[in-house]
Structure 1
Amino acid sequence: MTEIDSSPLVLHGRRRSAARLRSGVLLLEQGGVRRRIPVAAIERVEVRGRTGRELAVVLTSNDPCPAAPGHSLVSRSAPAVREFAEALRRALPARDATEPRPDGASLVSVEPMERPGPEPRQVALVALGAGYALIAVALVARGAGEQAVVSWLVGVPLVLAQGVAALVGGVRRVRDAVVLRARGITVEGRLEYSYGTGSGEDAVRRHVYSYVDAHGVRRERDGTEGGAQEVEIVYDPGDPEGTTKVGRGTGWQLTGGVLVAVLLGLPMTLVGLRMAASALAALRA
């Protein structure tokens, strides 16, 4: 086994599947089970598919004409697949072409995974969606009037929800800026890799930086800021991976957060609340 037997990378796939490399073992979680695949059981790692979004591991075999047993995981991000594949390749043991191979399939262990329950956030979103739909149906059924129906259908999802999102986002930016200004620690960060998300006009380029905090712990920062090979990263020692910023200046972050909250989030929230209240008043009438 090589010295690089673990990786901080986590590759997420469809339907809550995921792959991790821990202590010389590839943990492949999919279909309600977790497969533990030792790197000694892996012959090679491949990136497949026309868009390069499939990670495939081919297991070793003592059969001179093997059928190439293996496992695969399809992700939404081709760059994430490439980076994980490279990390996994570095962990594979060096072998000679004539070296006997073990039966990789026999080294793989499978264990059932506990089915995760619904997250509180998901439950809240479903409840809000159901309540929104029921009120819309009740407004139509009671003949509350076109203005009330439009106020509810437009005011809640397009005005109130967007306003609350902008208000929360702006307050969060202000909070992070204040925290970093008060107790932030500046360290040097190095670019590990960049990747794109979305397509067309929604395409966004993100950059993953690694840094070592004041206690010698290696951490990563994933965000849209940056792009240079070496940058300065400011982090909150109380939340070293959650509250971080590329670059030392927090003035623009603080100003931008205030402007978004005050000029966009707060007015939209108030207008949305007024539209929702008028629709509910028509329902009670």
Structure 2
Amino acid sequence: MSRHYEPSPPLSPLPSITLRGYGETMWLEGRAVVLEQKGLRRRIPVEAVEEARAVGRGRRSVEIALWGVDGAPGPVFILKGRDAASAGRLVEAANRARSRNGPPQGGAALVEERPTSTSGRKKGLGLTRRERAVGIALLHVYVGGFALLAWAGEPQQAALWLLGVMPALFGLLIVVPSLRWAWKRWTVRRRGVMVVAVFARKEGKRTFFRYTDLEGGTHEIEPDYAARGIGGDPKRIEVVYDRQHPSRAVCSLAASTLVWRTAGVTLAGGLLLSLAFLMMPLQLILLALSG
């Protein structure tokens, strides 16, 4: 008997359930299962799903089997999860919403694929080649300065030089990320477009908003904790995205927030770097003057 396709009626969105794996994530969004895996984000409408199954050790993993064509089995997507309870809830919700008959063209034809956004993500420590070179040069200066003071018979100044790396390190940890954050905001806003982003999903303690660029592409942003909702609505915020790189965006912030952050970085970072200067380079200056 030929299979007749009956699309799912327009129902309410699926519950917000997320299953995290090892570098991979699956969640329910709208009327679809979204799978982010190996650099790809697949949006699988419930009409494409023949069955969802909890599998593997402890039933912590999930298989999403798609409808095939002409009775042949369709493709199966697997996520190796870490939480059996989340896997069970996701499978139950997907099976409850899926179609009882598959589309004539098969489920795979309904799946949307696009590369995941990698903006802001870097491998390792996230340092560029220039930043690594600067770090190596500073390390040589640090070791060389300590050796010079010790060789000159200045143990007290050598000790101050040795300990001075702590305020320098903490000062740089405050100042450098803040400067990079400020540079990103300036470059994006200088050539950016302001749009409204709406709440998309929540993954653990992280919240994601979605916005659409002028070309119709959709992107996600993890908002600044200080971003305020439009008209008091926490599910709608203003963001500015870069025309040249639409996936690169920043949240609109109140002027008072920017002022307080600038003041905090200037005071805390400036104080620590000043202390580091007194404990490190100044020792070489004093040594040169005493000679």
- RCO greater where, 1 or 2, for CA within 8 Å and sep 6 or more? 1
- Please report the TM-score for the alignment, with normalisation by the length of structure 2: 0.49
Larger strand fraction of residues: 1
Give TM-score, length-normalised by structure 1: 0.50
Structure possessing the higher radius of gyration over alpha carbons: 2
